[in-house]
Structure formats: structure tokens, C-alpha cells
Amino acid sequence: MTVNELVRKAAKKLETPFLLIDLDIVEENYRKLANAIPDCRIFYAVKANSHPRIIERLRDLGSSFDVASVGEINKLLSLNVTPDRMIFANPIKREKDIAYAYDIGLNLFAADSPMELEKIAENAPGSQVVIRVAVENRHSDWPLSRKFGADPMTAVQLIEQAARLRLKPVGVSFHVGSQNYDPKSWWNAIESVARVFYWAEKLHGINLNVLDIGGGIPVKHVKPIPTVDEIGNIVEQAINEYLGGVKDLQIFAEPGRSMVGDSAILVTRVLLRCQRGSEEWVYIDAGVFHGLMETIENFRYEIVVEGKEDEQKMPFVLAGPTCDSVDKVYDDAMLPYNITLDDIVYFINAGAYTVEYATNFNGIPGPKVYFVQDLASTI
């Protein structure tokens, strides 16, 4: 979403910080992915942004959902999403949550370890499971493969174990790392997990037919990104190359960031500018505790300062409003040299992993959320 007239008007009128979301962009993102990988079943990863209006829009488009907890499951149930449209994809679940999911009729789980399979077999007997395989996360801004995933040969053993526990091992999942810039990552991942299909059949006679390609599709920030069509093409080609022989192959995807990232702008305001030693500091009313958490790993947003787009830029330390030194956004933000009190600072394409992470730390509430669809007529 760009800084258009509506965004500027909203910034003048509404109290900051706030996130302004355009639901039509969410819809467009869903349709683009559905077109790029035609037979793909899309499970929106709810953790990227679980606002009810986003869930409802995706629900009405026919989306399914990737959930990580009972909290997310209950939110979906309250919005009339049925359990047959959910995958419990977090490989680290509470036993109570597994049992709860099973009781309401959710029967698709992910696992990447022997103990997790035992927990699922005990609390959700007979359920379908996908085994998460660790794949190369090199070209992503937010790698996930150290914390999650089994190597391919261990995955084969987990599939055999699942069958022994009378679960239904249906396939494998992977995640190339969030905000992955290289379409080749999906190719390599599919090449790698195809071995699991092969050996599960060869060694144990188990036919898998679900390939879950996870998330990782990037959002435009400060570096060029591949299009969803480019990624879709590579996925289809890799499937033809490595999984062409699999009968009735079903493709799942679990996009989070790419469904919502570019649908919103975070609008903040300068609270203070000052000099500390040789550094110039700018403090704004939202930092890592109030929507900009991903910047702790130096995740880069495009930043625009209202009315000062064409001014000369210089480096500032950009920080949030709380009394914690972790609450620092960037050491080297390039901002207009004359940025000052009350200037509006926009973070472009900040719809994913922002308000979802916001806390009430220091008694400072997280950003409010507004929708283009409502403001268009009232502002």
C-alpha cells in the first residue's frame, strides 16, 4: 500500500500510532496465489495478522487456516471457520490443545519429532499428520530451520513411527524461511523433500500424497522481490521434476506475510529528537514493543516522513517510546535532516507481524487498527 491521499488524511486526523489496512489488497494477494499455484489449498498462517476482518475476508474467499494454539482455534471458531478448514501446524503443541483440537473435529496436525507424534497419537488418535522437514533457509530474512524440522531421513523414520502409532502420515511440510527472496529455495526444498516421499514408500510401503510448501513468500520492502507467479512456476516445475510420479498429489501452502504484508501502513509520530554524543536520535510513538518487533533482527521497512519526502537524508538512531533500551528500531535510519517533533513517519507494507506482536509494555497501548474500507467514507 502506498502513501496515498487517504493515508495522509488519516494521519492528520487520527491519533497515532495506527495501522491502516486495505482488505481489498488482502483479497488480491489471496487470488494471486490461488492463480499462481492452481490446485493449491491455501492455509492462511493466522499469526501474521489475526484481525477478525482479515480472517472473515479470507474465509469468504474459501481460504483454510494454519493455527498454532487454542487461542487461534477459538478465534477462528468464533468467526464461523469450521475445523475441517484448519491445520494445527505448530510442531510444538500443548497436549491440552491437541486434545481440544481433536474434540472439536480438527484432524490435521504437523510434527517434527518423536515425542510430538506420541503426544498427537495419545490426544488425537487416528489423526492425519504432516512431517515437517528442515530445508535451506539461506535467502530468507527470518530463518526458521534451526528451531523446526527434521532432516529428510529422520522424517522418513517419523513417518514410519506415525503409522506405527496408528496415525495417518499423509505428507510432508517445509518452510523456506520467512521473507525468502530466492525462488530457487522452493525448488531445492521440493527436491529435498521428494526423497522423503521416495523412501517412505520404498522402505515402509507408505504412500504420501500431501506436499505442504509452507510460507516464506516475500513482501516488497527495500530489496527487489520475485513475483508470486515466478515462485508458483518454480514450485510447479519442481513438482513435475521430482514428484511427478506421486498419485493424487495435494499441494498445501501456509502463507502468512505475503497475504497481509503489503496491505497496510503503520503510521507513527515523532515524540523527540535529540543529540547523544555524536549520534542524532529520533524517538517515535511505536517501537519494537508496539508493532516493529521484527526490526530487532534488522528487518528493513521502507520509511516515509510526511511532507519531507524530497529533503536530504542523514543517518539517525531511530527508537521507540518505552523505557527499555531494546526498544530501538534502527541504528542507521536514513531520515530527512530536518525531521522534528510531530512529524508523521510511515512504515510501508507493515501489515504482517506488526500489530500481532504489539504489547502494552509501559502502559503504552499497541497501534489501533483502521480499514480503508471504513475510512474512505468517513474521513
Ligand X SMILES: *Cc1c(COP(=O)(O)O)cnc(C)c1O
Give residues in contact with ligand X (CB under 6 A). 45, 47-48, 66, 89, 175, 178, 214-217, 254-258
Q: Least distance in Å: CB of 11 to ligand X?
A: 27
Catalytic residue among 323, 325, 363, 377: 323
φ, ψ at 21 (rounded to 5°):
-110, 140
State the sign of the Cα–Cα–Cα–Cα dihedral 195, 197, 199, 202: negative
- Three-class SS state of 312: coil
Distance from C-alpha of 122 to C-alpha of 311, rounded to nearest angstrom: 63
Q: Least distance in Å: CB of 235 to ligand X?
A: 14
Choice between 177 and 366, CB closer to ligand X: 177
Choice between 152 and 216, CB closer to ligand X: 216
Distance from C-alpha of 44 to C-alpha of 136, rounded to nearest angstrom: 22
Active site residue 274: no
- Three-class SS state of 146: coil
Output the CA angle 12-18-23, nearest 5 degrees. 105
Residue nearest to ligand X (CB): 215
Full DSSP string of 71-104: HHHHHHHHTT--GGGEEE--SS--HHHHHHHHHH
Choice between 7 and 110, CB closer to ligand X: 110
Q: Least distance in Å: CB of 108 to ligand X?
A: 12
Q: Least distance in Å: CB of 251 to ligand X?
A: 14
Q: Least distance in Å: CB of 304 to ligand X?
A: 24
Choice between 89 and 129, CB closer to ligand X: 89
Full DSSP string of 149-215: -B-HHHHHHHHHHHHHTT-EEEEEE----EEE--THHHHHHHHHHHHHHHHHHHHH-PPP-EEE---
Choice between 42 and 335, CB closer to ligand X: 42
Active site residues: 323
